[in-house]
Amino acid sequence: MGFKTSIGGQAVIEGIAMKGPRLTCLAMRSPSGDIQTEISDTEKNPLKNIPILRGVAAMYLSLKSGYSYIMRSTDVAFPDGEEDDKFDRWLKEHFGEKTNQAIGVFAAVLAGFLSVALFVLLPTVITGLLAKVLPIENIKTLIEGILKVIIFLSYLFLVSRMKDIKRVFMYHGAEHKSIFCFEAGEELTVENVRKMGRFHPRCGTSFLFITVLISIIVFSFVPWTSTLMRVLYKLLCLPVIMGLSYECIKYAGRHDNILSRIMSAPGLWVQRLTVFEPDDEMIEVAIAALKAVIPEDLSEAEL
């Protein structure tokens, strides 16, 4: 066989959430050593047929559902944790059965705010302050872009040094390897998956880094009348940048040519900070998650 698939996943605490065209499977390694799977219908992107806008919607859905998967995997990995605190009770009282959905929406908004603060506001504010004491007026955009890349890479490097996060990144590697094995048309076994590469062009890390690079290009055309106005302009441009980044990742994942390789190269390099080699038990979890979402009609899984 051998084809490009739309199936993708997300590493969570001791597990992987794999999203197929119809079903999504959250597979987790429980403290007892068993693989626990939870299957649900895949949440559809209402704007999937509209270029640019579908990328914005996909980013929101990814943040919302991703947080829910992480919370659920944490419950499984740490079953003795404190679950019924005052905040949990307040959510249950106000949202009832929609508690997880409310948490997901809140998490998506919070994650978006923190991302904007760290990668949009901070480089601009620092550059604006430097411009007051240094003669950099003609190269402010360049310095802002360099700071943005430095902050992004430093953040990933520091996070990857954390023990628990490192295990998540190992599951990230298992997810990539299992998808490569499926795309290669080989049987999903630990031996076959282990020999696959771990850097995938459709990785979320690649999406984030391409977003950073595209933002640098787009913002080079945005006027810098003042630091405040530049921040406002950048916020207005964010949906367009996310949409363009999504289209780039989609193109790179679907094609194998010089252009797609050039587009994929920076993201593949950065994945060295977020995609680590998994052990066999992690690969078993990835296989369980992937097998659960592969449709009977494989054409449905084509990218």
Residue-level pLDDT at 95: 56
H helices, E strands: number in the chain: 11, 4
In this structure, the number of other CB atoms found within 10 A of the CB of residue 147 comes to 18
Identify the DSSP state of 63.
H
Q: Is residue 54 scored above 90 in pLDDT?
A: yes
154 falls within a domain: yes
In a domain, 301, yes or no: no
Residue 137 sits in which domain range?
8-294
Task: Look at residue 137 and tell me if it is in a domain.
Answer: yes
Q: What is the mean pLDDT of residues 233-250?
A: 90
Find the mean pLDDT for residues 34-41: 95
In a domain, 67, yes or no: yes
pLDDT above 70 for 2: no
SS3 302: strand
Q: What is the β-pairing status of strands 23-29 and 8-12?
A: unpaired
Asked if the structure places residue 299 within a domain, the reply is: no
Tell me whether residue 139 is in a domain: yes
- Answer yes or no: is 184 within a domain: yes
Q: How confident is the model at residue 281 (pLDDT cuts 50, 70, 90)?
A: very high
Dihedral, CA atoms, 233, 238, 241, 246, nearest 10 degrees? 180
The pLDDT confidence band at residue 83, using thresholds 50, 70 and 90, is very low
The region, left, alpha or beta by phi > 0 then psi within -120 to 50, assigned to residue 11 is beta
Strands 35-41 vs 8-12: parallel, antiparallel or unpaired = unpaired
Residue 24 is which amino acid? T
9: which strand partners?
Answer: 18
Tokens of 200: 């995938």
Least confident of 59-68, 207-216, 268-277: 59-68
Are the CB atoms for 291 and 188 separated by under 8 Å? yes
Residue 101 reports pLDDT greater than 70: no
What local confidence, expressed as pLDDT, does residue 278 receive?
97
Q: Considering its fold, how many domains does the chain have in total?
A: 1
Cα 162 off chain centre by: 18
Whole-model pTM: value is 0.86
In a domain, 136, yes or no: yes
- Report d(CA 20, CA 38) in Å as an integer: 13
Strand partners for 24: 19, 40
